[in-house]
A and B are shown apart, each in its own frame.
Chain A
Amino acid sequence: MKLKIFKFFTIIFFSLLIIFFSSSELVSEEFALGDETKSYYALDSDNKKIHFSKIDDIEFKDNSELIIFLGNSQTHGVNQFVKGNSNYVEILSKKYPNKNINAISIPNGSLTEFYMISTYLISNFDIKKIILPAFFDDTRESNIRTEIISFFDENNKFNFDDNIKLILSKNIIESENTISTQDLSEEFLNNFFEKNSFWKKRESLRAQVFTFLYKLRNTIFFITPSSKRYKIEEAYNQNINSLQSLINLCTLNNINLNIYIPPIRSDIEIPYDNLEYNDFKKKIEEIINVNKDFQYLNFEKIIPAKYWGMKSSTNLLKTKEYDFMHFNFQAHKILADSLQILLK
């Protein structure tokens, strides 16, 4: 029995020790970008925010004739960031102060998510133009993030196409009409415990556990950012359908839609299957060209190798890896120059 008591207290002691000494500093998004890349959200010449990362945060300074740049972390990620750097959205906004330029960029944002966000924007604001990069990488995403689902759950008045309605119906959990005593007590207790830093750090610890598992997986199976990412049929079709819906929506509302193939580093082998990637580009061009007012551009090779960077290790071995997604400020300038054509 003495051994059992000793065992009990040893477990308590070590558990407290581990939780107490675990770092609470981990922001999942910054981890995904890596140490070499920093998130930067564009400001206009009056230092007002014109670049948003969440649909709930969108608040345009001026609601007329909006030009919206959509994108993933390539838009807000600046590799080898130094003070004074910015991104292509800010560069363009400052260069064209008379144009109402704004941006929304979400990490790994899929075409489905951009279609949903665009639906919201078109229904609520005076949108003149939408500029959207089509990443092959993000056609592998079929999930819609919780914050977008709950946003559309609460604002459930949008007439999405059947494809999205089906996804939403599968994801929205119908809540019971009555609030149980348990709901009330959980809310009370959570609010009470949230004041305690020991309890509060659980969220960061959860992120650390997932990060560790992600790195462990990459280490065991030799997965790196250069590993081939193949097409996932269901997710791919869902995203292409969403793009088609976005084209229809813009045509119907007389909004100018422009789609470009984003830059990717060309000094090393790309992490896609060449055949699948070429098919993807062809497909995008084919569906965008149906509407003669819409433009398709290919920027995949515009950024020279020297402006790309590395990213910190995504495995447990601490080796630097190639970053295929994020480039430095000089490259943002080049991309801004290339995108100008769409603003004229």
Chain B
Amino acid sequence: MFFNSITFLIFLSIVCFFFWNVNKSFRVGFLVFSSCIFYGFWRWDFLLLILFSTVLDYTISILIDRNDDNNKRKIYLLISIITNLSLLAYFKYLYFIVDNINFAFGSNISLYEIILPFGISFYTFETISYTTDVYRRLIKPESNFLRYALFVTFFPKLVAGPIQRTKEFLDQVINPNKFSLDNLFKGLKRIIEGLFLKVVLADNLSAIVDDGFNINPDILSGVDVMTLSALFGFQIYFDFAGYSSIAIGCALLLGFKIPENFNYPYISKSFKEFWKRWHISLSSWIRDYLYLPLLGVKVLETTAKGGIGNKLDQKKGRNKNLILFITWAIMGLWHGANWTFILWGLIHATLIFIERIRTKYITFKTNTIINWVTVYIFSMLSWIPFRAENIENTLTMYSKLFDLGSFINLNLRENYYLIAFILTLLFLMLYNFRSYKLAKNKIGIFIIDVSKITLMVVLTYIFLRPIQQFIYFQF
């Protein structure tokens, strides 16, 4: 089911009503049942896949916990990881693998149609983190199957995250929150904000971004490339931050807290900071289950907060930079089965690598505005491989940035430049003039909040149509 649809809003109202009115002992089961309906509205058959993954990791985690033999524990963990990753590889990467084999060996292997199950990348990461944490003895396995099933299938985060850690979620299942008006209003506010970002901003931007990226990249200039990358940067931000906000809001209506995924990423003054503000739950997952283990750092706690942190610099001996590049290439590949996504990951690894060198050798404090402008421009430009049709178009677009002779030739409609400029300006303004900063007293905050949310409600009502999927559904 898509969040940006009338079907979902009706579904959510019914689920919330019954959830708070059924007997407490039925609530977990009711939510699992509702989550299955939520997923089944897209495809009922793929529910079996989720069920398989859930049963597998539920069983294996208990086996890992009950066993004291380290080798056996490791084997159980490997079975879980390999099975989960194999499913992911089959549904998501088989075309990519076969295409590359065909290209490398000149073969002509063809495949039947494989449909990518929504959310597979997200719930696979959640289940892997669960068995890994049980293996690391950071958590005890959940003995109640329904509770664990709810962790995997909880509908607000099922399809595109945020990727939550088991402990953070199951603590709330075991000690459930009571109904509160505060959570209800906060939840509704987050849903409105999310829908506004998605249906008003992201969907309307999508039309011009699609047209822009359909243009033959050969005729674009450097300014055009920068403009298009900024427009897509905003589109994907509004789209995914919108989705995450709706997910957080829905969870709040049901008394659950799920982690934040975004925190004004485009105001970052370093790339390290950018990754503490962008898709936070994924970057922290990558940190705890890929980067730190590869570095040889023992992970002692598990939390979906924080992005790439300071822990990274602690371990000596292993090649930190090589691991950085490997991790980011994998992170890129997680997003999609295409070389463009790997390139995107490697670009970010390079930017972080350069930043490490810079901070090592340039010890004096650099200007905040210059830092922001640098990070803003490069983080936007890094989106090109994420959106371009293929590597060839990506490289052509990047080459335009070095074609100084025709750098400012304008080949897009005037609106493109205006919208990119206005969005940048608005983003900075919204960050710097948030209502609590703008108003000095409660009445001031009340007036600003009411005007802002009323505008969002009206515009969301006008634009609500499931015309565009969320971008992250395809990952």
Residues of A within 8 A of B43 (CB): 178, 180
- B351 at the binding interface (Cβ < 8 Å): no
Residues A232 and B413 in contact in the complex (CB < 8 Å), given A3-B442, A19-B461, A221-B418: yes
Q: Which residues of A contact B (CB under 8 A)?
A: 1, 3-5, 7-8, 10-12, 14-15, 18-19, 140, 142-143, 167, 170-171, 178, 180-182, 185-186, 189-190, 193, 202, 205-206, 209, 217, 221, 230, 232-234, 237
CA A18 – CA B451 in complex, angstroms? 12
Interface segment, one of B1-9, B56-64, B275-283: B1-9
Number of interface residues of B (CB under 8 A): 40
**B41 & A234 in contact (Cβ 8 Å cutoff):** no
- B216 at the binding interface (Cβ < 8 Å): yes
Among A1, A140, A182, A232, the residue within 8 A (CB) of B41 is A182
Known pairs A4-B181, A180-B41, A234-B216 / 8 extra A-B pairs, C-beta < 8 Å: A14-B450, A142-B215, A170-B214, A178-B43, A180-B42, A182-B2, A189-B10, A193-B6
Q: Which residues of B contact A (CB under 8 A)?
A: 1-2, 5-7, 10, 40-44, 181-182, 185, 188, 211, 214-216, 219, 409-413, 415, 418, 442, 446, 449-450, 453-454, 457-459, 461-463, 466
**A186 & B42 in contact (Cβ 8 Å cutoff):** no
Residues A182 and B413 in contact in the complex (CB < 8 Å), given A202-B462, A206-B463: no
**B185 & A8 in contact (Cβ 8 Å cutoff):** yes
Residues of A within 8 A of B44 (CB): 181
Among A18, A171, A189, A205, the residue within 8 A (CB) of B7 is A189
Residues of A within 8 A of B214 (CB): 167, 170-171
Residues of A within 8 A of B215 (CB): 142, 234
Closest A residue to B6 by beta carbon equals A189
9 nearest CB pairs, A to B: A15-B457, A182-B41, A185-B7, A181-B41, A14-B454, A205-B462, A170-B214, A233-B411, A234-B215
**A7 & B449 in contact (Cβ 8 Å cutoff):** yes
B15: min CB distance to chain A, Å: 15
CA A264 – CA B2 in complex, angstroms? 49
**A3 & B446 in contact (Cβ 8 Å cutoff):** yes
**A181 & B40 in contact (Cβ 8 Å cutoff):** yes
CA A190 – CA B466 in complex, angstroms? 11
Residues of A within 8 A of B458 (CB): 15, 18-19
Q: Which of A11, A167, A186, A193 has the most CB of B within 10 A?
A: A11
CA A186 – CA B7 in complex, angstroms? 6
Residues of A within 8 A of B188 (CB): 8
**B457 & A11 in contact (Cβ 8 Å cutoff):** yes
Residues of A within 8 A of B219 (CB): 233-234, 237
Closest A residue to B213 by beta carbon equals A170
Residues of B within 8 A of A14 (CB): 450, 454
Residues of A within 8 A of B181 (CB): 1, 4-5
A172: min CB distance to chain B, Å: 12
Closest B residue to A178 by beta carbon equals B43
Residues of A within 8 A of B409 (CB): 233
Residues of B within 8 A of A167 (CB): 214
Residues A10 and B450 in contact in the complex (CB < 8 Å), given A186-B7, A190-B6: yes
B351: min CB distance to chain A, Å: 30
